[in-house]
Amino acid sequence: MVVSRREDNAQRIAALDEQAEALGLRRGMGVADARAMHPFIDIVEADGKADRRLLESLADWCDRYTPLVALDDDNDDSIGLFLDITGCTHLFSGEKRLIDDMTTRFLHQGFDARIGIASTVGAAWAAAHITGRAIIDPGEEAAFLAPLPLAALRIGAAIRNRLESVGLRTTGAIMATPRAPLARRFGAALLWRLDQTLGHLDEAVSPRLPVAPLSVDRHLAEPVTQLDDIERLVAALSITLKADLERRGEGARALALTLFRVDGAVSRICVGTSHPLREPLMIQKLFHERLAALTQDFDAGYGFDLARLSVPSSEPFEVEQTDLAEKSEQNEPDLCLFIDRLRARLGHDAILKPIAVKSHVPERAITHFPFDIGYEPNKAQADNAEYRSQRERPIRLLRPPEPVHVPATEIPDGPPLNFRWRRTFYRVARSEGPERIAPEWWRSIKDEPTRDYYRVEDADGRRYWLYRQGLYETGKPAPRWFMQGIFA
């Protein structure tokens, strides 16, 4: 099999398997030439987006070894992964056993992985791409790189060709050549890559996903597939996590359960909390609701052999002394747990709270945020909330306001004497107003009319909040009436 892609207005070989290599085919060769030599080869078009999705799924799976996983897709000839395993190798009884475990698991998934371990990113890249598998001890980078070709330095093909044209064909030859002439003739990028590979310049691995400050793992001897088993795992992991949170004096505001399937698939299940939380029973209840909501789409495959519970977000956990009746001025924990369980089952935006915003227009004066967001109103919003609190407002607002037919008023700009709403006729017994609300000048709403609001009471004692949109002016359409809300 041969994978082709378009380069310089021609289809060229981008990748090929071992059997194609044995036929004498090479990367960069034209597809027409390859087919002329061997008409029976199977040629498929490269799909960069599919390759990217595959690489990202493998990066998710490699989180089982370290949370610091980065994509290595800068090189057109190959793609790979960078894993920062600092402080993680003891979990696998050393670097060699880690490589053995990773190689075996990749092989079971159908991948032939080339793995290298070194103290620098560049040396590890060279060990994986050039030798296929190697562990370089700290301080041995120069000796390992010396006999390798120039491709081990991750430099472009143009610079490699220029170096080879003057007889510099190995990394050792570059290291033995004076630096100043190299920089003048071939640019600073060459020396920059060399120093990174040898460890003279730092090169950090930038993880593709944020690293949770706290996480606990559980490796399983036998894979689990049932939701009940997963909930028991969550309970066990929560107990360990509680000790870590207590030591830090924090509580979790977000929790993530990562399940690693034996065939390489990874499932992430996240829940949020409305207040800092570290009680294992409460955490288990949240994930019970979340797993119940995912029952239809949850695919355990052949089972999960690794489970991880992490805390992406946390806050200080303040322990409050309660009185003998166990009463507290803070939010009731049962209410918070109830809201969190609803959000876990129905979604993050299932429970919202109203927040005052900078507007006097009733339908724009309130917006809604998820319950767990610690939203603090600014001064303008606080002033607007105080303005509304000084005026009587209905408990229920209609959105949008509904049209009302007003056949007559006392005076042109006065309150209605009676009105018809939803096919029912109402006679006004009392009225109060108007309260004028002008259009907001900072909004680009053209010709928005002024509103005059009235509080009216009908003959049966029911109270309504109506407004007249527009003014009685000569040459303009008559104002319209709307029902804005209903008082309790």
Torsion, CA 343, CA 345, CA 347, CA 349, rounded to 10: -30
In the prediction, which pLDDT does 121 show?
92
**Distance, CA of 299 to CA of 56 (rounded, Å):** 19
pLDDT digits (tens, 9 = 90+) for 61-85: 999 999 899 998 766 566 789 999 9
pLDDT digits (tens, 9 = 90+) for 343-401: 888 887 788 887 777 778 888 888 887 776 544 555 555 555 555 555 678 888 888 89
User: Across all residues in the chain, what is the average pLDDT?
Assistant: 86
* CATH numbers and ranges of domains, the chain: 2-46 (3.40.1170.60), 50-198 (1.10.150.20), 214-317+329-345 (3.30.1490.100), 353-389 (no CATH), 396-486 (no CATH)
The band of 410, judged by pLDDT with boundaries at 50, 70 and 90, is: confident
Mean pLDDT of 322-332: 54
**Distance, CA of 185 to CA of 181 (rounded, Å):** 6
Mean pLDDT of 463-484: 86
- Specify the DSSP element, H or E, that contains 83: strand 80-83
Question: How far is residue 279 from each of residues 236, 273, 466, measured CA to CA in Å?
Answer: 12, 12, 50
Higher-confidence residue of 474 and 289: namely 289
Radius of gyration of the chain (CA): 34
Torsion, CA 230, CA 234, CA 240, CA 245, rounded to 10: 150
- Burial class of residue 314 (count of CB atoms within 10 Å of its CB; 0-12, 13-18, 19+): buried
In the predicted model, is pLDDT for residue 312 greater than 80? yes
The two tokens of residue 343 are 């959000």
**Distance, CA of 269 to CA of 300 (rounded, Å):** 13
pLDDT digits (tens, 9 = 90+) for 83-135: 999 988 988 999 999 999 999 999 998 888 899 999 999 999 999 998 888 89
- Burial class of residue 360 (count of CB atoms within 10 Å of its CB; 0-12, 13-18, 19+): middle
* DSSP character at residue 1: -
- The closest of 212, 261, 196 to 64, measured between CA atoms, is 261
For the chain, what is the total number of helices (H) and then of strands (E)?
A: 14, 19
The strand pair at 451-458 and 463-469 is best described as antiparallel
In the predicted model, is pLDDT for residue 268 greater than 50? yes
- Count of Cβ atoms closer than 10 Å to residue 409 Cβ: 20
Order of strands across the sheet that contains 43-45: 10-16, 2-7, 43-45
H helical segments located in 150-211 = 157-165, 171-176, 179-186, 188-198
Q: What is the DSSP string of 408-453?
A: EESSTTS-EEEEEETTEEEEEEEEEEEEEEPPPTTS--TTPPPEEE
State the residue for tokens 């029976």. Answer: 40
In the prediction, which pLDDT does 81 show?
93
**Distance, CA of 36 to CA of 20 (rounded, Å):** 14
In the prediction, which pLDDT does 106 show?
92
3-state SS assignment for residue 147: coil
In the predicted model, is pLDDT for residue 49 greater than 50? yes
**Distance, CA of 151 to CA of 179 (rounded, Å):** 19
Residues in Cβ contact with 199 at an 8 Å cutoff, skipping those fewer than 6 apart: 119, 120, 123, 141
H helical segments located in 31-156 = 31-37, 48-61, 95-108, 121-126, 141-145
The band of 329, judged by pLDDT with boundaries at 50, 70 and 90, is: very low
**Distance, CA of 69 to CA of 63 (rounded, Å):** 7
**CA 48 to centroid of chain Cα atoms:** 22
Mean pLDDT of 32-48: 90
3-state SS assignment for residue 132: coil
